[in-house]
């Protein structure tokens, strides 16, 4: 195991610069999310049988968080602009194998439901070029937003990737689910929490 060397204790105090609390919080968030997502064998090809940590669910009920985001084209927006239609909000990143594994199924269900349920993918704490590449490779065509500093992810109580929120048409977060979702599991969550039937 490679261990990082300790800083030289003889360094002068002049070299010790204060660390901004915001930077520390962001770094900790990224580290926690990466650890929850990666797990053993994260560098291997991911199949539907080997897609990361067990799912963890939590019933919710607050209004959808008001956090500034941008579209993949660079326009300012937020999730409140999508209120009025039931929403599936999926937080993902290019460095998360389970995220990539479930995205084609999200795309398929999104196309099945059409205007009945709106899907929004929120790319979190990621490099824009890598996110763009994954979106193209997985064939996702629903709305994609950027959350570069992870604020929206934190506002939803996220702690692992992928995280999916189910939001009713009035903007109430009905459910958040952390972990990989198969097509059937996604359909079941939509039917239970959003009251919309998904064709089999």
Domain residue extents for the chain: 19-194
Band of pLDDT at residue 121, cut at 50, 70 and 90: very high
Band of pLDDT at residue 53, cut at 50, 70 and 90: very low
Using one digit for the tens of pLDDT, what is the confidence trace for 166-193? 999 999 999 999 999 999 999 999 999 9
Query: Which residues, 6+ apart, have CB-to-CB distance to 182 below 8 Å?
Result: 48, 102, 105
| The pLDDT of residue 11 | 36
Q: And the tokens for 200?
A: 């089999």
Using one digit for the tens of pLDDT, what is the confidence trace for 65-111? 999 999 999 999 999 999 999 999 999 999 999 999 999 999 999 99
Three-state DSSP class for residue 133: helix
| The pLDDT of residue 62 | 82
CATH number of 19-194: 3.40.30.10
| The pLDDT of residue 198 | 97
- Dist CA 150 CA 82 (whole Å): 19
pTM (2 d.p.): 0.74
Using one digit for the tens of pLDDT, what is the confidence trace for 125-172? 999 999 999 999 999 999 999 999 999 999 999 999 999 999 999 999
Query: Which residues, 6+ apart, have CB-to-CB distance to 169 below 8 Å?
Result: 83, 84, 85, 86
Band of pLDDT at residue 200, cut at 50, 70 and 90: confident
| The pLDDT of residue 37 | 62
Q: Please, what is the Cα angle at 152 between 72 and 57, to 5 degrees?
A: 115
Contact 64, 120 (CB under 8 A): no
* Closest residue by Cα to residue 71 from 125, 6, 142: 142
Query: Which residues, 6+ apart, have CB-to-CB distance to 137 below 8 Å?
Result: 100
| The pLDDT of residue 61 | 64
Q: What is the radius of gyration, based on Cα positions, of the chain?
A: 18
Q: Identify the H or E element spanning 92.
A: strand 87-92
**Residue reference for tokens 């009920």:** 61
Q: Identify the H or E element spanning 100.
A: helix 97-113
């Amino acid at each position: 195991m490679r261990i990082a060397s300790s800083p030289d204790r003889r360094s002068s105090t002049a070299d010790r610069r204060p660390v901004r609390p915001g930077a520390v919080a962001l770094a900790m968030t990224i580290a926690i999310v990466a650890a929850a997502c990666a797990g053993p064998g994260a560098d291997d090809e991911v199949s539907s049988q080997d897609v990361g940590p067990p799912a963890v669910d939590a019933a919710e009920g607050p209004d959808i968080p008001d956090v500034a985001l941008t579209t993949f084209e660079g326009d300012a927006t937020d999730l409140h602009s999508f209120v009025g239609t039931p929403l599936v909000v999926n937080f993902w990143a290019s460095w998360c194998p389970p995220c990539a594994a479930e995205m084609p199924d999200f795309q398929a269900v999104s196309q099945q439901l059409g205007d009945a349920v709106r899907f929004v993918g929120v790319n979190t704490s990621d490099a824009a070029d890598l996110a763009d590449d994954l979106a193209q490779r997985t064939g996702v065509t629903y709305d994609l937003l950027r959350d570069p500093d992870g604020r929206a992810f934190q506002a939803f109580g996220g702690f692992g990737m992928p995280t999916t929120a189910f939001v009713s048409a009035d903007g109430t977060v009905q459910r958040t689910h952390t972990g990989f979702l198969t097509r059937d599991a996604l359909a079941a969550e939509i039917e239970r929490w959003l009251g919309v039937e998904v064709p089999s």
